[in-house]
Amino acid sequence: MELQQGYGPVPETEGSGRSDSAAAPRRTVLSEQLLKGARELVILHDGCEYVLRLTRQNKLILTK
C-alpha cells in the first residue's frame, strides 16, 4: 500500500504492475529534510548532476 501525501494510504489495484514480493518499500522524505533551508540542491546520479529547485510558488523542479 502506498502513502499519498496528505491523503492517506492508497490501495494497490490489480494490474498495477507491482508484485508485493518484488517491490521494495517506497521511502518518503520531506522536501524540507532535503533542502535544509536552501532553495536548491544538486543530486548526483549515475555520473550526472541534477538540480532540485524550490520555486517562488513553492513547487519543485528537477533539471539535468
Task: Tell me the domains of the chain and their CATH numbers.
Answer: 2-63 (2.10.70.10)
Query: Where does the pLDDT of residue 23 fall: very low under 50, low under 70, confident under 90, or very high at 90 and above?
Result: confident
d(CA 36, CA 53): 12
Query: Where does the pLDDT of residue 64 fall: very low under 50, low under 70, confident under 90, or very high at 90 and above?
Result: very high
All three cell numbers of 24: 521494495
Quote the pLDDT of residue 16. 55
Contact 64, 50 (CB under 8 A): yes
> What's the longest Cα–Cα distance across the chain?
41
Task: Give the DSSP letter of residue 32.
Answer: H
Q: What is the model's pTM?
A: 0.61
